Amino acid sequence: MTDVMDWDSAYQGDGEFQGPPPWNIGEPQPELAALIAAGKIRSEVLDAGCGYAELSLALAADGYTVVGIELTPTAVVAATKAAEERGLSNATFVQDDITKFTGFDGRFATILDSTLFHSLPVEGRDGYQQSVFRAAAPGAHYYILVFAKGAFPAELQQKPNEVDEDELRAAVGKYWSIDEVRPAFIHANTPPLEAMKSASFEPPQHDRDEKGRMKFPAFLLSAHKPD
């Protein structure tokens, strides 16, 4: 499989970004924070591809028990350290590949994907769906926040694997019962990719939020595992 980017380099600051990666916004994505506020989350929670894990840490601070599974050692170390510093023993982090992890069969009541889906190679999607479905308890709920096609310029050579609604429904609906797919936003610090600075095309011109972050078009998918 060809990775979308060198994730560990991105976190170590020696990748294509000058400084922290644009998705490190220091808090949960607003669409997922809204799910938490609406009482949609039940323990145990899996934060799939958790990165620096502000989502896991916010959930743990609210009393949820959370496991973050993340590919890069750098992010796992940072998330573990942050949990320790905040006294959150109910947040634990595991370094593993989400497309083939095992050891959590039937465990999670909620699975959250905060911008992971488009970070995987397309050929990794089915393994990812199989793995998280196996790790889900009967009746578990699954939420995916993913870039919609058109979030980035078509000419951009290296970019996330944005989705259209049909391909998202096809990949997830093979295993899960889909409840809703609706338009949403992913908030990110910009510029999103160093490549854009020297590119011959215009970077995306999406609206910004009240904190100056760009609001990229996305989908929020909600699904559940039948009882």
Ligand X SMILES: C[S@@+](CC[C@H](N)C(=O)[O-])C[C@H]1O[C@@H](n2cnc3c(N)ncnc32)[C@H](O)[C@@H]1O
Binding site for ligand X (CB under 6 A): 7, 23, 29, 49-51, 55, 69-72, 75, 97-99, 114-116, 119-120
State which residue, 126 or 139, has the beta carbon closest to ligand X: 126
Q: How far is the CB of 51 from ligand X (least distance, A)?
A: 3
State which residue, 29 or 90, has the beta carbon closest to ligand X: 29
Q: How far is the CB of 129 from ligand X (least distance, A)?
A: 13
State which residue, 90 or 99, has the beta carbon closest to ligand X: 99
DSSP H helical ranges for 90-135 = 125-135
Furthest CA-CA distance within the chain = 52
Q: How far apart are CA 183 and CA 29, in angstroms?
A: 14
Q: How far apart are CA 16 and CA 97, in angstroms?
A: 22
Q: How far is the CB of 200 from ligand X (least distance, A)?
A: 25
Which residues lie below 8 Å from residue 64, measured CB to CB, with a gap of 6+? 41, 43, 44, 45, 90
Q: How far is the CB of 71 from ligand X (least distance, A)?
A: 4
- Say if CB 147 and CB 160 are below 8 A apart: yes
State which residue, 28 or 141, has the beta carbon closest to ligand X: 28
